[in-house]
A = this chain, B = another copy of it.
């Protein structure tokens, strides 16, 4: 029995690249090209009536960017897997794409055979990424630099972020509220902030807690 081919659509403004991709897809067994679009607008207009499993999306498009397109596509058809295809590898492009709902991210220098492999992988529930992209993504989890805070301070910052006030923190770790306040003042000065909200934000962003 013949397996249903993976239905693919392409959004890519460069005519040559778009057509080449389409040709490769059409010429390969198990892959089917449902549609191609030169911009996000036309793709979004038709997406509802389209049978499609995987979308290849360029980021740099005239008008609506590929990233915004992905965001809208995921709203309209949450089951479509969007695979970004871009020359950009800056954090801005990569992480905004992922946040928008991209299920994979390939650089444009990826050879055709690997693009096809990535399409299969994304369709099987994977998240293919070019090697540089994957590394960047993992690196985003590492603490940026080592904490300037002492252990005690980190502990108190943790409790602070739970919304406890001086007194509650003091009770929790058996210290005087004055001491807590002292620590918090030190935390502020080390993190260069002036309020709990800022401190919590910085702590999370810098992965201190």
Interface residues of A (CB under 8 A from B): 95, 98-99, 101-104, 121, 124-129, 131-132, 134-135, 137-138, 141-143, 160-163, 165, 193-201, 204-205, 207
Contact = CB atoms under 8 A, between A and B. Distances in A.
Contacts of A201: 161-163, 200, 204
**Which of A103, A121, A138, A193: most chain B CB closer than 10 A?**
A138
A193 B197 CA distance: 13
A175 to B, nearest CB: 19
A143 to B, nearest CB: 8
Contacts of A196: 195-197
Nearest to A124: B131
A129 B121 contact: no
A101 B142 contact: yes
B198 A95 contact: no
B98 A141 contact: yes
Contact of A126 (B121, B134, B143, B162): B134
Nearest to A197: B196
B131 A134 contact: no
